[in-house]
Amino acid sequence: MKLLKMIFVLLIFTSIFSCGSDDSNEEVKAVELSLSSVSEFTANQESKSITVTANSYWYTQNNNDWITLTPTNGTNNGTINVSVSANLTEAKRSGVISVISDDVTRDLTITQAGKEPATVGLDPNKTPSENFDLSTWNLSIPVNKGNGTATTITVSQINNKYTNSTYFYTANDGGMVFKCPVDGFKTSTGTSYTRVELREMLRGTNTSISTQGVNKNNWVFGTAPTADKNAAAGYDGEMSATLAVNHVTTTGDSGQVGRVIVGQIHANDDEPVRIYYRKLKNNTLGSIYFAHEPTDGNGSEQWHEMIGSRSNSASNPADGIALNEKFSYTIKVVGDSLTVTIMREGKDDVVKTVDMTNSGFNVGGQYMYFKAGVYNQNNSGDGDDYVQATFYALEKSHTTD
């Protein structure tokens, strides 16, 4: 009997030991699952591939009716073809797809651009002044007017169906094109850069009013002396534009390449605001920033980055603006407050406000005018290198009593 008990205990011990040994040799297989990224799709019907890295069976989950995945499942490493249908709206859209293996899920956001906005009311067979209200603008082009400075196309001339196939013309989609090379004549001997740029002329065709001064050709801040507000054509102001920058310079000094001013307020000698677009050669997207230049004795020039960086060695801005991509800006002055807004379809507005109380523009004798177009900020590049922008909307207004 005692022997039987010993044998029974030995059998139980052996059984337990054997089970424990077998269990220890079984390794739990960890699930591996990762996905490659995919760039934004255009508004057209388009397909791209993503890579699945896995060590077991996986399947997809997709609740977006405009996205198609092929195949919808697989084992181990594989490729998924992602197809999107054409986006018939102007709004950018996005959707999430998932790849699942066991209890591991990997999500990937698919984004698709909206279609180009319809160009309303712009006729490619018309001149710029027939498509846009240019009744209170003149134009500078970098052609010698005879004294070594740039030529001004007057309000009367520009509104008499003026067009210039080299510098200022209507695009195939009806937009107003401004094109300016590095080489050319400048608006004055003290100016460093060429421009093809509109200059606000509130006097219209009344040439008896001087272009300069606190008078009916220009406007002032709402905080200017009452006498100046009464003498000016208006006070405070707002300018809005929709445009696409088509080309920037790719030659020249690193501090100048790729930059262009597309809108500004000019005062007597300084600029309360200059809006820059800049795209470096090795970047696919451009940045937006602006300068605020106080009058002499009222502080240094201020720089405000809105999208990306103004650095000469900036990396590709993650949320930047590509060449030929439409965007809008608004410059608004109310009293001593300057607000610049950048707007894009399907994205949040980018807004910066500057307090100009101590900038020196609210004193007597300071007058303002808007400018829009392209002001080339490169004088070191190849002579035929150029900047170009196409405007699709341009409006402005002022307060009058």
* pLDDT reading at 25 higher than 70: no
341 confidence band (pLDDT: 50, 70, 90): very high
* Structural domain includes residue 314: yes
How do residues 100-116 score in pLDDT, each as one tens digit? 999 999 999 999 998 77
Same-domain check for residues 107 and 132? no
Same-domain check for residues 261 and 373? yes
| DSSP label at residue 10 | H
361 confidence band (pLDDT: 50, 70, 90): very high
Same-domain check for residues 343 and 369? yes
Cα–Cα distance measured from residue 389 to residue 184, given in angstroms and rounded to the nearest whole number? 18
Cα–Cα distance measured from residue 152 to residue 283, given in angstroms and rounded to the nearest whole number? 35
Q: Which of 112, 141, 160 is the last residue of a domain?
A: 112
* Structural domain includes residue 15: no
Query: Residues, the chain, total?
Result: 401
Q: What is the CATH number of the domain that holds 86?
A: 2.60.40.10
* 342: nearest Cα among 223, 245, 218, 235: 245
Same-domain check for residues 41 and 176? no
Same-domain check for residues 55 and 157? no
24 confidence band (pLDDT: 50, 70, 90): very low
Q: Which of 80, 112, 144 is the last residue of a domain?
A: 112
How many domains are contained in the chain? 2
- Contact call for residues 260 and 373 (beta carbons, < 8 A): no
**Mean pLDDT score, 232-241:** 97
Same-domain check for residues 98 and 133? no
Same-domain check for residues 253 and 360? yes
Same-domain check for residues 307 and 354? yes
Same-domain check for residues 267 and 341? yes
* Structural domain includes residue 26: no
* pLDDT reading at 251 higher than 70: yes
Peptide bond into 71 cis (omega under 30): yes
* Structural domain includes residue 101: yes
Same-domain check for residues 305 and 389? yes
Choice between 13 and 344, residue whose per-residue pLDDT is larger = 344
* Structural domain includes residue 1: no
* pLDDT reading at 339 higher than 70: yes
pTM above 0.85, yes or no: no
29 confidence band (pLDDT: 50, 70, 90): confident
Q: Give the structural domain span for 65.
A: 33-112
27 confidence band (pLDDT: 50, 70, 90): low
Same-domain check for residues 88 and 217? no
* Structural domain includes residue 120: no
**Minimum mean pLDDT range among 209-213, 317-321, 365-369:** 317-321
* Structural domain includes residue 160: yes
146 class by beta-carbon count within 10 Å (0-12 exposed, 13-18 middle, 19+ buried) = exposed
* pLDDT reading at 13 higher than 90: no
Same-domain check for residues 108 and 136? no
pLDDT of residue 120: 64
- Dihedrals phi, psi of 130, to nearest 5 degrees: -85, -20
* 33: nearest Cα among 85, 94, 96, 103: 103
* pLDDT reading at 382 higher than 70: yes
Q: Which of 88, 112, 136 is the last residue of a domain?
A: 112
Cα–Cα distance measured from residue 236 to residue 213, given in angstroms and rounded to the nearest whole number? 16
pLDDT of residue 333: 98
* Structural domain includes residue 12: no
Q: What is the CATH number of the domain that holds 173?
A: 2.60.120.200
